[in-house]
Amino acid sequence: MNLILKGFESFGLYILLLRRSFTGLLRFRLYWNLWTHESIQIGRDSLFLVAIISLFTGAVTTVQTAYQIVSPFIPKSTIGAIVSTSAILELAPTITSLVLAGRIGSNIASQIGSMRVSEQIDALEVMGINSATYLILPRLFGALIFFPILVIYACFIIHIGGIVAGALSGAVNPTQFVIGIRSFYEDFQIIFMLIKALTFGFIISTVSAYQGYYVRGGALEVGNASTRAVVISCLMILIADYVLAQLLL
């Protein structure tokens, strides 16, 4: 019972923090520097990690799909179709976001949490600056802009990984793979992928910021908040993933 009440309390605080982070905006340039800094951290610094994970995800999905298609009556291009559809609808947005929840979510929570325990957030408030707006808004917009870009990038790399693995294993040649991609492609799949990317970016940035913002104590609590940010973000991503699939497909 206590856990449920605590859950409701946390959700209420989360909503209030979100509302507060959209009020009391000061000068644009104050947020611009922070936004560019956050964007670099979310975007540029994640490119390599996302590329590696996507490449192997695409390769493994292709090999495993080929392994499951044993009937000679199913054309090889089906492998490309299955890998591509999986990549667009699920692998690129969800796997990328789960990975970024670990990298970016923990980073946001520990940064804001450290500012809380070292009284930097108090210093902002005493200066008359809305700390929620100052700390959360640039991170939220950084995530909303760069998550879709990263997911599109991941999707592209998954396809590359699939094509390469298909060719190397002899399961499907690149031409058949591309025929498969084209045969089942619909524009809505890309829209669905971008909706997921935006949703997951929102979840990671705001849940992590919330965990950091309400830290009480010292370094140990900052570490705990960072872990909680990752765990809750991942959980929320999986729930949102199911809800979006149910609603939009």
Partner 1 sequence: MSQLRIEHISKWFGRQQVLHDISFTFQPGQVNMIIGPSGCGKTVLLKCIVGLITPEAGRVFFGNVDFLQANPESRRMILQNLGMLFQSSALFDSMTVEENVAFPLRVFTQQSESEIRERVAYCLERVGLAGTQEKYPAQISGGMKRRVGLARAIALNPKYLFCDEPNSGLDPLTARRIDELIQELTEEFETTTVVVTHDLKSVVDMGQRILFLYEGRSEWQGDKTDMLRDPHALPANLRAFLEASGLMRDW
Which residues bind to partner 1, rule: CB under 8 A? 24, 26-27, 29-30, 37, 114-115, 118-120, 122-123, 125-129
- The Cα–Cα gap between 242 and 16 comes to 26
CB of 203: closest distance to partner 1 in angstroms? 25
| Chain Cα centroid distance, residue 144 | 10
Which one, of 130, 124, 105, lies nearest residue 16 by Cα?
130
- In the complex with partner 1, the residue whose CB is nearer, 115 or 193, is 115
- In the complex with partner 1, the residue whose CB is nearer, 89 or 115, is 115
- In the complex with partner 1, the residue whose CB is nearer, 129 or 240, is 129
Give the Å distances, CA to CA, from 115 to 103, 180, 222. Answer: 19, 51, 10
- The Cα–Cα gap between 186 and 19 comes to 37
Give the Å distances, CA to CA, from 9 to 4, 14, 21, 107, 239. Answer: 9, 9, 18, 24, 20
CB of 130: closest distance to partner 1 in angstroms? 9
| Chain Cα centroid distance, residue 194 | 11
- In the complex with partner 1, the residue whose CB is nearer, 27 or 72, is 27
- The Cα–Cα gap between 68 and 167 comes to 17
CB of 224: closest distance to partner 1 in angstroms? 20
CB of 191: closest distance to partner 1 in angstroms? 37
- In the complex with partner 1, the residue whose CB is nearer, 23 or 246, is 23
CB of 132: closest distance to partner 1 in angstroms? 13
